[in-house]
């Protein structure tokens, strides 16, 4: 029987009565269990064991026994939500406990996923269309349990801030470029380079470096302002 369900034993005596009854569990008399039946309204794991009834008539006693096995209800460890990069694998795993065998059905946004009937559900290379709420319904011998987790796609977020000098340099003067590159996304970003288009395209200012979530780094650079121009445009580019 499953935990929480009722259990009942009964016996029918024959011979010369009147008859008396005593029920036992693991050889110990059960209080007030002196009828021809014994019942438990809602069994617990501690109720498992051999139950016996001693029936006594005018000419002797007879003992009959039976075993109560208690099946534990199904529980499932919490699923772990994932935030993964595009193109990487994603794996959800359901670790079930209790009385089996177990069956599994995975869903995405409440819709059953065809063929997803194992304890593990995986996506080889996630796409934006895979984002959603993933649930698994696990059914055991006694009950069913549903657990859910979220799959999100990590979107790298690099930003760059350039500080302009308070006074532009004169033609032929030194132009100093400073700023900060920041990672405001949820994942670490590696192989970051900061470059300027002055004095030539892809002039390096910083890199390579790695920035974790919430981290930032300062950069600085300089070049000589052209003699034949009154306006120079800096374009700072960051890649990672």
Give the model confidence (pLDDT) of 97-128 as tens digits: 999 999 999 999 999 999 999 999 999 999 99
Residue 33's CB is within 10 A of a number of other CB atoms, namely 17
> What pLDDT, on the 0 to 100 scale, is given for residue 88?
92
146 vs 54: CA distance, rounded Å:
45
Which candidate, 48, 44, 41, places its Cα nearest to that of 68?
Answer: 48
> What pLDDT, on the 0 to 100 scale, is given for residue 95?
97
Within 13 Å of residue 7, how many CA atoms lie on the same side as its CB? Answer: 20
> What pLDDT, on the 0 to 100 scale, is given for residue 236?
66
Q: Are 1 and 142 contacting, i.e. CB atoms less than 8 angstroms apart? A: no
Strand (E) positions, 164-202?
Answer: 174-183, 189-196
In this model, does residue 21 exceed pLDDT 60?
Answer: yes
Terminus-to-terminus CA distance in the chain, angstroms?
Answer: 60
Preceding peptide of 208 cis, ω within 30°: yes
> What pLDDT, on the 0 to 100 scale, is given for residue 60?
94
> What pLDDT, on the 0 to 100 scale, is given for residue 74?
96
> What pLDDT, on the 0 to 100 scale, is given for residue 161?
85
> What pLDDT, on the 0 to 100 scale, is given for residue 215?
92
239 vs 192: CA distance, rounded Å:
5
In this model, does residue 35 exceed pLDDT 90?
Answer: yes
Report pLDDT digits (tens) over 169-217: 777 788 888 889 898 887 788 898 888 888 887 888 888 899 988 899 9
> What pLDDT, on the 0 to 100 scale, is given for residue 222?
86
Percentage of residues in the chain having pLDDT higher than 70 = 94
98 vs 70: CA distance, rounded Å:
11
Residue 127's CB is within 10 A of a number of other CB atoms, namely 10
């Amino acid at each position: 029987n499953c935990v929480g369900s009722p259990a009942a034993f009964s016996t029918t005596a024959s011979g010369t009565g009147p008859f008396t009854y005593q029920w036992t569990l693991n050889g110990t008399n059960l209080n007030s269990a002196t009828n021809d039946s014994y019942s438990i309204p809602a069994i617990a794991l501690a109720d498992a064991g051999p139950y016996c009834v001693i029936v006594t008539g005018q000419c002797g006693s007879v003992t009959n026994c039976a075993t109560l096995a208690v099946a534990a209800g199904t529980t499932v460890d919490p699923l772990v939500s994932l935030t993964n990069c595009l193109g990487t694998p994603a794996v959800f795993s359901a670790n079930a406990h209790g009385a089996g065998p177990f069956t599994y059905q995975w869903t995405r946004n409440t819709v059953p996923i065809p063929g997803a009937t194992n304890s593990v559900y995986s996506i080889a290379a996630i796409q934006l269309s895979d984002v959603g709420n993933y649930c698994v319904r696990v059914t055991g011998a006694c009950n069913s349990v549903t657990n859910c987790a979220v799959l999100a796609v990590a979107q790298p977020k690099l930003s760059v801030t350039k500080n302009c000098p308070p006074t532009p340099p004169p033609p032929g003067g030194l132009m100093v470029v400073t700023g900060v590159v920041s990672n405001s996304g949820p994942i670490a970003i590696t192989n970051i380079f900061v470059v300027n288009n002055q004095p030539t395209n892809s002039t390096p200012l910083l890199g390579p470096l790695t920035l974790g979530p919430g981290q930032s780094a300062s950069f600085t650079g300089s070049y000589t302002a052209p003699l034949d121009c009154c306006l120079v445009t800096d374009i700072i580019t960051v890649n990672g």
